[in-house]
Structure 1
Amino acid sequence: MDDQERIDIWRSIIADPATAWVLFEQGTCVRLARPTADPAAEAKALLRASGPVLAGSVAGDFSVLALDGGRGWVVSSHHPDIVTLVFPQEIDADAPEVAVGLLGRSKRAQDAARLRVRHVEVRRGTAEAGPTDGLAAA
């Protein structure tokens, strides 16, 4: 799974042109209904505050939504604007839904710890694509 695959899937999922979104290294997406002048910083702050997993609390809760065409799953979190993508290649084909959710939750925790932005999308006529934090281009 490369960044472009993740970007393409998020573009197909997030239909509202007013919603900006930020993609992190492990596939976590932070949606921003009213982005500031620096959506990456805003998304990092939100993920830093709401992304860490706290088992036994609402921060450990998730739900799983299968994508059409077997493209993978979206794993939600306790925050409605923080969701994580899990590709079929990342998990056994016969894995139960709870395993998909736990993997997505783990990926979200990694993204919350590292905060490495891979793509920022602001659809009001512009998209800022590419790496930040010194990562290689997608």
Structure 2
Amino acid sequence: MKLKYRNITVSGGVAVGKNTLHENLKPYLEPLGWTFTSGGKLLRDFSNEYVQPVASLAPDDFHKELDERTKKLLEKGNYVIEAWLAGFMSKERTDTLRVFLHCQDDALKIDRVANRDNISIDDAKKYIKEREE
């Protein structure tokens, strides 16, 4: 089956449903050969692969290399990438559907984090505030 897009990026803020959408797309796209990854997985893989060099890289160099790896995956095609800035990294690509999720309802975000991480409402508020700063 020929699809209009070769990639999908799912991005957005904290507790807006990025991972939920990412997981819900799997039953439809995995049978077509699509690969699913996340910014967290890419970061862990990169860190594990470059344990020694990472310590010597300046933060900018580290992030540039991680961005380049993400762009290379998008060049391959048939990727769904869930990450905070995934859409930004694909901004020049016309073959990529960029989905940005946003939630203005703070109570909903707090509830999502509290239930997802099994933490108190106060801890969820702190977590969201730290992540959004």
Per the normalisation by structure 2, the TM-score is 0.29
Per the normalisation by structure 1, the TM-score is 0.28
Structure showing greater Rg: 2
Structure number with greater CO (CA < 8 Å, separation at least 6) is 2
Structure richer in helix, relative to its length: 2
Structure richer in strand, relative to its length: 1
